[in-house]
Every structure is written in structure tokens, then in C-alpha cells.
Chain A
Amino acid sequence: MKAFMQSFCRNKGGIMGLIVLALVTLMAVTASWIFPDSPWDIINGPFMPPLSEGAMLGTDTLGRDIATGIAYGSRITLVLAAVSTAVSILLGITVGALAGFYGGRVDQAIVGFIELFQTIPSFFLAVVLVAILTPNMGTVIFAIAVVSWPPLARLVRAEFMSLKNREFVQAAMLAGQSNLRIILTQILPNSLSPVIVSGSLMIASSILLESALSFLGLGDPNAMTWGYIIGASRSVLRDAWWMSVFPGVAILLTVLSLNLIGEALNDALNPKLARRRTT
């Protein structure tokens, strides 16, 4: 554990990512204190530029405060991303573990299923799902989860397949441990490193996915997310550049920080011990 912390802290990108993410989370948590008004409230005239009265980052087409929108948007974004990633991970681990451990026909069927998913353009699928099932928080989470689990399942499957043939697993079988016990206590704990790394990157991509859906108008109609604000800014790009720039920067920083954290985790959890020592 200690070696992991040391390695992680040595990665400057990871530390920066962690700081930015902490700030964003802080913003999400304290949004209602710093910005007491609802983002839907009209607080000033429309198209006010940044640094106007009561609107640090300007107002939108109806006079709503952009800064408030960004602050409240962070909540929805983080919650949505976390929940959909959690569902994805659960699904991915279960499917991948079954395929990797049992092999044979079970594996073939599951792999076929995964390949099917990976052939379909995932963004399109998400759009179609949300559009036809009518957009709301639930369908968005569902669509993102459905689209994100295949790569993780593949990863977990590969890990399970390789670990299953490792000698300590065979030793556990010889010792008489049941299959379930072996999966849960022997293999799973050793396959978590890539899952953790993926988790971070998956949260990042679900933020991108969610904001793209909101941009197209497929988000929850009651949620003012960053993507929604940018979507609404399209027609007035010329007149209110701040409407598209600031929320986009928010997305960029959050996703970037998650990617940096993911990379740092990867370096810390998978030291390059593959190099053979030349002695």
C-alpha cells in the first residue's frame, strides 16, 4: 500500500488531476451556498458579458447566470458519471469474470455478445436509446452504462483467463476451495488493478458522453448540465461566446483531471517489472 502511495505521489500529473477533481467536487457540494439562486432563475438581462453585475461569467439568452449553471451542473455531471460508471463496472466484472473463469461455450457466447456491442457505434446507440425511451436521468444513466461495459468486460475476462492458469489458483483448487471462493478471494483481488485504472477513465468518458447527449438536447429536461448550456449557446455563438467557452472549459478540466489520475494510477499499480534484469 505504502509503495503505491509513494509511486502515485511521484506522478505530478496525478497530483494535479487530484487537486482539480477535488475542487470540482467541492464546487458541486457547496454550490447551493455559494450560488443560492437556482440556475434557472433569471437574475439579469440577457447576453450580459462576463464580469457584469451578479454574473461573473455572464448570462445566457434569457438572463440566467452562467456561473450558477456551471456550479449546479457539476453536481449532476459528477453524480451521473459516477452512477453510470458504477453500474458499468458491476456489469462488466460479472460478465467478464464468468467468461474468463468458465471458458468454453459460456465464454464463446459472452465474447460474441461483447463483440456485437463493440461493432455498434456506441454514441449512436446511446442517442437512439435515450431518444426512443424518452430522455430523463434514468434513461441517460442506462444508455451510458449499456454503452460502456463491453471494454471493461473484455479486460476482466482477459485478467481472469490469465490468472486462472496461474499456479497459486491451481494450488487453491488442489487445496479443495470451492469455485466461488476461488473467484472471490483468489482471482478477483488480483485483477482489480486494471479495473481501478479503467474506472477513472470510464468516469471521464461518461462525462463526455453525457455532455454530448445534453448538447443534442437528449439530457434530462430538468437538469441544467454543462452540455445543455453549450447546446443552447449554439445559435448565439456570435453574440455570447461566454456561454459556450466556460462550460466547455469546465468539462475539459474535469475530464483531463480524471485522465491524469487514471494514468497515475496505472503507473503506480503496474510497475514495469516486465523488464528482464540483464545480469
Chain B
Amino acid sequence: MSALLEIRDLSVTAAHGGPTVVRGVSYTVNRNEILCVVGESGSGKSVTAHAIMGLLPADQLNVTQGRILYGDRDLVGLPAADWYGLRGKCFGMVFQEPMTALNPIMRVGRQVDEVLERHTDLSAAARKQRVLDLFGQVLLPDPQAMYDAYPFQLSGGQRQRVVIAMALALEPDVLIADEPTTALDVTTQAQILGLIKDIQRRMGIGVIFITHDFGVVADIADRIVVMRKGEVVEAGLADDILNRPQHPYTRQLIAAVPHKPEGKDAAAAAAPLMVVEKLCKTFATGGRRVDALRDISLEIRQGETLGLVGESGSGKSTLGRALIGLIPPDRGSVRMEGRELVGMKPRDFRPYRRQIQMVFQDPYASLNPRHRVIEAVAQGPIAFGESRKTALREARELLELVGLGGDAGDRYPHQFSGGQRQRIGIARALALKPRLLVADEAVSALDVSIQAQVLDLLKTVSGQFDLSVLFITHDLRVAAQICDRIAVMRQGQLVELDRAATIFYHPQHEYTRRLIESVPGKSWNKPDLEAQDDPSRSKQYA
């Protein structure tokens, strides 16, 4: 396997004396292989990829050192005119966001046609035929209709397929895929991953696949490069890195990857805290009706962590918000402590308001940027009549509990990292001493290592305060980490509800099976690193 592309000692610095974002990075990409570049945010993996294609915004980032060798050419400092011949023809790139990757007012077929028009002498008819062929290869339904469609008429998965077709139109040597499946549903992600793997095998191209998800890496990588804070930390064959990681950071990353559920004994069923019966909600916006919730019935038991898993459009978020009182349901019943909460007058609902609290998804939008953090935590108790002095004191204690002691409370949100803000969010939710905590994708926006810490915190806190937690997520692996039972939703309906281990290993419903199938990295048994270091701490897996 000959080296197709070699990056040698590359450094990229931010303009105007900014920080060095990529430092002395070296790795190679061979023909006919998938190289996965893994790292968390800020690792420089994406900047490096942009540098390979010469797509760094010149007023913000510059290559200050190093070479990128393609064949016998150095791509660093290549004049603009030379790039036109290389891009599209020898290099293809797929970006992360399918929603914004295509020109919104140009037909999709035409956008792929552009690549052919630019680099080949084919006639218009021949080009169209080729585009239709490509659409067939990327498994787009009804290529003829697709050709004339606009991007807004396509789903995220379909758009991504179009982008892939565009990138592969001229059968380039190298395909650079920058987190291409991160914004997609898990089932769509599985399809796209399969597609990329298949095309790579057939065309024998070299693929640079950038991701933060080790599950994906386990599924498709031939070789792996691990990056952290702009540097390459470890590189090697997939099997070696995944199962016998050497560098402490790699080990830390792999340890943080959500693992499969442990075979806990079925706990004695506790009393139900909240009983939901036949809950319904339909949204009607401008003539379109969406049945977000269709006859949902379940119960949340005292002290348990119930996972609510589903893809986009499943209604899981709507259910969370309905239970918490932010969205009034159309029909159905929600009972807590014997009282019916649906249709209750706001004044009667008020005491129940404090019993059910929420931790939100976006750490950057969930705190008022103009209030000090301690104000945010204390605002609930104060609104419910607590004296300001007591509320502030308790708020400080809570912040201490979630690991932000000292004078952290006097600072403003922008002074904290994403993970820290989620901790503040948890402290805020706990301030009213609720009995049910709804965590709506609470860790989805966090890096994997931070994710693990916040999940640990949730676990500790729910045990300590005997809290019930409704854990809403699209990621089954994360749910498996901390949930006792898991409910699977699809298009507004509850499809299956059972113990976590049962859902994972013996799924009953066909959709649940499909979900489990699509989970990336399921065939990879994560090495028990703690056991490797200390055999007495080996965990039992079902």
C-alpha cells in the first residue's frame, strides 16, 4: 500500500498573532484504506483536513510550517490556479452539516453536474446520465425526480448522499469526510457509513474520515490517528489502537466511551412516581399537522432512571416537555401522587412545578448570560418564596456538590466550559428539591470525556437524593450507561419499554432491533482498561 498523501510536520496558526491550532502534525494516508482521525473539539482534526484541500480561510488561519505531499507536489503554498485542477478531480470533500452544504436556490442535480462540467468534456446529456448513475450508486430514491429537486425538499440523509455523489463524481484519489454523519439520525448514519465503506472498497480510494465517535471508528477504520489540542498523540492500526491503546489520552478517551449495559439484577419494582396514560399531542403549523404524541402510556418509578430513546421526530422531546408542563397535551392523563396534572389550573399546578425540573441540552443557551451563576441556581427557590439569604446559601452548597465550589457562583456563564455549565444546570434543577428530573439530551453537546463525567454526576446525584430521572437521548449507548429501564419511541409512539439489558441484548420490536443494529461499534468489545491495569476491578458484562 503506497502512501497517497503525506502530511509532514504541519503547523497552522490563527491570524493576527493568534494561537497555534495545529502543531507539528504528521500522518499519511494510503491507497485503498480508511484512515480515521479521532479527537475531541479543539483537537485540530478538522483544520488539518481543510489545510489539505487548501480551504483554510486566509484571513483567519495560515499554514506556518510543514508540507503536504501529494505524489511529488507540495500542496502547501500551491497557487490558486493549480488548486482548480486538483479539487473535485483528485480530492473530494464531504462536510458535517448536510443542511447547509448545498446551494439553497440551485437544483440538486445541477450542483452535481457542475463538477462534471468543470472537469470533463462530456456533453450535457452524457453528464446528466452520469449524475443519475451517481444518484443510483449512493442509493437515492427516484434519481430522475431527485435531479430537479431543491435541497430544502430533501432530508438530511438524502442531502448527505448528494454531497457524497458530488465528491465522488470524478472518482478522486482521496475522499475527505469531516464528521459527515454526526448530524444524522443513528439509522441514517448506519446507512451512510455503509455507503462510504462500500464505495471505498469498490473504487479503492483513500478516505480520511474525521470523527469524535469511537463507535464509528470501530466500524470502519483500517488505521487510526488520535489528535488532541493540535497534536498527534497516537497512530497505528485500528485493532491496536482500539484494543491496546498506549497513550494515556487515548486510554482516557476509550475508557469514557459509553459501554454496554451491565447485567444488573432486576431490582424490585419500586412504587410509581408518575403514571402517564394515553397522552396525545398534535401540532398544527400553517396547514401541516404533526402527531407528536400518540397515546403514550408509561410509568416512571420512584428512584429509577428511565431512558427515553428515539431519533429525530420521534416525539421524545415533546413528551419530556409535556410531562414538565411546558407543552400542554391535547388529551390523556399524567398522574403524580394521585393528582391529575393535565388540565390543572396554573395556580394548582404551582406546587407540582417544583417537583419536576429539567436539565437542558445546550450548555450555551441554558444560562442567562447576564446573570451570575449563583443567581441562576437560586432563582427557583426565590420565586417560590424562599428568603434570598437562605436561597443563596443553599445555592452555594449545591454548586459545591456538583464540583464548582469556591467563588464559582460569583462568575458569569461565559467564564465556564460546556461541561461546567451543564453541572450548573444540574445544580439549578436540584435547587427546588424535585422528585423527577428530566434530562433532555443533557450530554449530547459535550465531548465524550466530559460526557462521562456529567453522566457520573447524574448517577451520583440521583442516588443521593432518591431522584427519578427521565433521560432523553438519541444515543442508545449513552442511555445504556446509566438507565435502569429504557423506552423506545418512534414517530410519536412508544414502541418498546424494558430493562436496559433486555433492550440491548434481546430487543423484541422490529424497530428496536433496527436501532440496535445501527448503533456504531456494537461488534467491538471495548477493552476493560481498568482490568488491564488492575485485574481486581474487572467488570461483569452480560
Measured CB to CB, the nearest residue on chain A to B178 is A278
Report Cα–Cα, A279/B230, bound state, in Å.
Answer: 9
- Check if A166 is an interface residue, CB within 8 A of chain B: yes
A176 touches B384 (CB 8 A): yes
Chain A neighbourhood of B366, CB < 8 A:
167-168, 171
Assess A176 versus B383: contact at CB under 8 Å? Given A186-B368, A279-B47.
Answer: yes
Which residues 457-494 of B sit at the A interface, judged by CB distance below 8 A? none
Determine whether the beta carbon of B42 is less than 8 Å from that of A176. Answer: no
B357-410 at interface with A (beta carbon < 8 Å): 357-358, 360-362, 365-370, 376, 379-380, 383-384
List residues of B (30-71) whose CB comes within 8 Å of A's CBs.
41-47, 50, 56, 61
Assess whether A112 is interfacial by the CB under 8 Å rule.
no
Q: Smallest distance from the beta carbon of B496 to chain A beta carbons, Å?
A: 29
Q: How long is the Cα–Cα vector from A176 to B385 in the complex, in angstroms?
A: 10
**What separation, in Å, do the CA atoms of A166 and B367 have in the docked complex?**
9
A53 to chain B, nearest CB (A): 56
Known A-B contacts A168-B365, A168-B367, A190-B370; A176 and B43 likewise in contact (beta carbons under 8 Å)? no
Asked whether any CB of chain A lies closer than 8 Å to the CB of B428, the reply is: yes
Chain B residue numbers with a CB within 8 Å of A190 are: 368-370
- Tell me how many residues of A have a C-beta within 8 Å of chain B: 19
A279–B360 touching, CB < 8 Å? no
Q: A142-190: which have CB < 8 Å to B?
A: 166-178, 181, 186, 189-190
Please measure, in the bound complex, the distance between the C-alpha atom of A173 and the C-alpha atom of B357, giving whole angstroms. Answer: 11
Q: Which residues of B contact A167 (CB under 8 A)?
A: 360-362, 365-366
Distance from A247 Cβ to chain B, minimum over Cβ atoms (Å): 42
CA gap between A171 and B361 in the complex, in Å: 12
Q: Is the CB of A278 within 8 A of B46?
A: yes
CB contacts between A and B, total, < 8 Å: 66
Q: Closest A residue to B57 by CB, please name it.
A: A278
Name the residue on A nearest B22 (C-beta): A279
Question: Shortest distance in angstroms between B102's beta carbon and chain A's nearest beta carbon?
Answer: 17
Contact B46 A279 (CB under 8 A): yes
Q: Nearest CB to that of B381 among chain A residues? A: A175
Interface bracket on B: 35 or more
In the assembled complex, which residues on chain B have CB atoms less than 8 Å from the CB atom of A278?
46-47, 50, 56, 61
Chain A residue at minimal CB-CB distance from B438: A174
B21 on the interface (CB 8 Å rule)?
A: yes
Rounded to whole angstroms, the CA-CA distance of A177 and B384 in the bound complex is 8
Within 8 Å of chain A (Cβ to Cβ): is B432? yes
Q: Does B264 contact A (CB under 8 A)?
A: no
A175 to B326, CA, bound (A): 12
Does B514 count as interface, using CB distance less than 8 angstroms? Answer: no
| Contact call B376/A168, Cβ cutoff below 8 A | yes
The answer to whether A173 touches B379, judged by C-beta atoms less than 8 angstroms apart, is no
A279 x B42 contact (CB < 8 A): yes
Assuming the contacts A167-B365, A279-B21, asked whether A174 and B353 have C-beta atoms less than 8 A apart, the reply is yes
Q: Closest chain B residue to A3 by CB distance? A: B414
Quick check: is B218 within 8 A (CB to CB) of the other chain? no
B350 at the interface (CB under 8 A from A): yes
> Is the Cβ of A170 less than 8 Å from the Cβ of B41?
no
B223 adjacent to chain A (CB < 8 Å): no
**Would A177 and B47 count as touching, CB distance under 8 A?**
no
Q: Which of B44, B324, B368 contacts A168 (CB 8 A)?
A: B368
A163 to B68, CA, bound (A): 45
Is A175's CB under 8 angstroms from B383's CB?
Answer: yes
Whether B380 contacts A175 by the Cβ 8 Å rule is yes
| Residues from chain B with Cβ under 8 Å of A170 in the complex | 326, 358, 360
Q: What is the minimal beta-carbon distance from A183 to any residue of chain B, in angstroms?
A: 13
B380 and A176: CB pair below 8 A?
Answer: yes
B41 contact from A166, A169, A171, A279, Cβ within 8 A: A279
Which A residues are in CB contact (< 8 Å) with B357?
Answer: 174
Once the chains are docked, how many angstroms separate the CA of A173 from the CA of B354? 11
What is the CA–CA distance of A87 and B384 in the complex, to the nearest angstrom?
36
Q: Quick check: A189 and B383 within 8 Å, CB to CB?
A: no
CB-contacts of B315-355 with A (<8 A):
324-326, 350, 353-354
The reply to whether A171 and B358 contact each other, CB–CB distance below 8 Å, is yes
Q: Hey, which chain B residues are within 8 Å of A176, CB to CB? A: 350, 353-354, 380, 383-384
Among A167, A172, A175, the most chain B Cβ lie within 10 Å of the Cβ of A175
Report whether A177 and B379 are in contact in the complex, using a CB–CB cutoff of 8 Å: yes
Closest to A178 in B: B383
CA distance A176 to B428 in the complex (A): 13
Interface string of B179-219 (1 = CB under 8 A from A): 00000000000000000000000000000000000000000
Q: Residue B370 contacts which of A166, A171, A189, A279 (CB distance < 8 angstroms)?
A: A189
Interfacial chain A residues near B384, Cβ < 8 Å: 175-176
B324 contact from A166, A174, A189, Cβ within 8 A: A174
Chain A CB within 10 A, most for which of B42, B325, B366: B366
Contact check, B45 vs A172: say whether CB atoms are below 8 A apart. Answer: no
B379 touches A172 (CB 8 A): yes
Structural contact, B44 and A166, CB atoms closer than 8 A = no
Q: How far is the CA of A167 from the CA of B361 in the complex (A)?
A: 8
Chain B residue with the shortest CB-CB distance to A189: B370
Contact status B47-A166, CB under 8 Å: no
**A279 touching B45 in the complex, CB below 8 Å, given contacts A173-B326, A177-B379, A190-B370:** yes
Shortest CB distance B20–A (Å): 12
Residues of B within 8 A of A168 (CB): 365-368, 376
Q: Could you write out 6 A-B pairs with CB less than 8 Å apart?
A: A168-B365, A169-B368, A171-B360, A171-B376, A175-B383, A177-B383
Interface residues of A (CB under 8 A from B): 166-178, 181, 186, 189-190, 278-279
Which 3 A-B pairs give the minimum distances between C-beta atoms? Answer: A175-B380, A167-B366, A176-B383
Give 7 new A-B contacts, CB below 8 A, not counting A176-B353, A177-B379, A190-B369: A168-B367, A171-B366, A171-B376, A174-B357, A175-B428, A178-B383, A278-B56
